[in-house]
Amino acid sequence: MVYDNLKVEKDGNIAVVIIDRPELKNALNLDLLESISQAFTDLKQDTEVNAVVLTGCDEVFCAGFDMNTVMNLGQDKMNKVDLIEKAFLSVLRFPMPVIAAVSGPAIAAGFDLMVMADIRIFSQTAKVGQAEIRWALTPLNDPLWKIVGLGRAKELTMTGRLYGAEEAREMGLANYVYPVESYLNEAKTLARKIAAFDRQALKANKDQTNRIPGMDTEAAIRTQVWGFRNFVGSEDMISRMSEFLHSKK
């Protein structure tokens, strides 16, 4: 498939989705948002893809919304804002794990897009923050607060300041930080490792991790045990455990 300002590359059982608007620092306009939504919708139908890496380029992940786009949202506002929601949710709800590989700025809407991923790998040059408050806009607090805690999320959204890669790792926003020369390869390596696991178990695990934070503890435990029951004793489970035990012998 061909997408506007977006490239999709398949590599075995992983896919790499690349934001490709470098002349404007990968800023999000309506065409690019539509491309993101469509790409993740298409990949959802690809049963060979077990994990996705979402990235930009070494210089910039995504500098946020194209300001001309935002200033013109007043015309047909509801339909255009719906497109923003659709793009972000296409990443958050993607049934398989998504890893964001972030280098350079990931700011405002670029930050929000990054947070939709399940795991975040930064280069040492990453610079991230929610700058919406500077422009008299409101940012996304969820799922951010579930990742960094409510106090940190309030700080991020209320101050609009930018954070470096190491500070982002300290607060739990970045899972790993690598040199700019290797961050993308590290993200792909992790994606391949994850993609080697059972596809249905991966889907069920992601579904659980998205749903249980909103549940009370008893309902969350019941949901997770139900998921475990669906997989325990499966042919793939027995095969993988037998292989592991044999290798230890």
Q: Tell me the sheet residues that pair with 216.
A: none
Say whether pLDDT at 73 is over 80.
Answer: no
Say whether pLDDT at 225 is over 90.
Answer: no
Cα-Cα-Cα-Cα dihedral sign, residues 218, 241, 175, 26: negative
Annotated active-site residue in 9, 59, 85, 132: 132
Q: Which of 10-24, 146-160, 198-212, 234-248 has the lowest mean pLDDT?
A: 234-248
Residue linked to tokens 């539509």: 34
- Nearest CA to 207 out of 227, 187, 191, 182 is that of 227
Report residue 84 as tokens. Answer: 């923003």
Answer with the residue of higher pLDDT: 145 or 82. 145
Say whether pLDDT at 47 is over 90.
Answer: yes
Question: What is the gyration radius of the CA atoms in the chain, in angstroms?
Answer: 19
pLDDT digits (tens, 9 = 90+) for 148-180: 999 999 999 999 999 999 999 999 999 999 999
Whole-model pTM over 0.95: no
Answer with the residue of higher pLDDT: 205 or 71. 205
- Active site includes 132? yes
Q: How confident is the model at residue 221 (pLDDT cuts 50, 70, 90)?
A: confident
Q: How many CB atoms lie within 10 A of CB 186?
A: 17
Say whether pLDDT at 246 is over 90.
Answer: no
pLDDT (0 to 100) of residue 75? 61
Taking each helix axis as running N to C, give the angle between helix 199-211 and helix 217-231, from 0 to 180 degrees, rounded to the nearest 10.
170
**Residue 196 CB-half CA count within 13 A:** 6
Before 143, cis peptide (omega within 30)?
A: yes
